[in-house]
Amino acid sequence: MDLAEQAISDEEIVKIASEQKRAVLTLNRKDFKRLHNNLSSHSGIIICTFDANFGALAQRIHESINVRASLEGQLIRISRG
């Protein structure tokens, strides 16, 4: 399901992702951290600090989630190296 360029609320994004058993990956740290704190459950939220070196960012994301058995209910923070 392609949701890009659609006016969908952050809450709806998390709901759709959870229904599909997918985590949300976002640069919108403040709003999604708030959502994590207010939701009873979700399939995982990964919040990132922008890094123009996308390869390095992808590597940090991979390293952080690869060591976890599940992302369910977790808020994972990825910051610049």
Note the pLDDT tens digit of each residue in 22-54.
Answer: 999 999 999 999 999 999 899 999 999 999 999
**Short-list 42, 46, 40, 43, CA closest to 64:** 46
What value does the mean pLDDT take over residues 65-75? 95
pLDDT at 3 over 90: no
Beta bridge mates, 78 = 48
What does pTM read for this prediction? 0.88
Chain-centre distance of CA 39, in angstroms? 14
**Residue range 47-63, pLDDT digits in tens:** 999 999 999 999 999 99
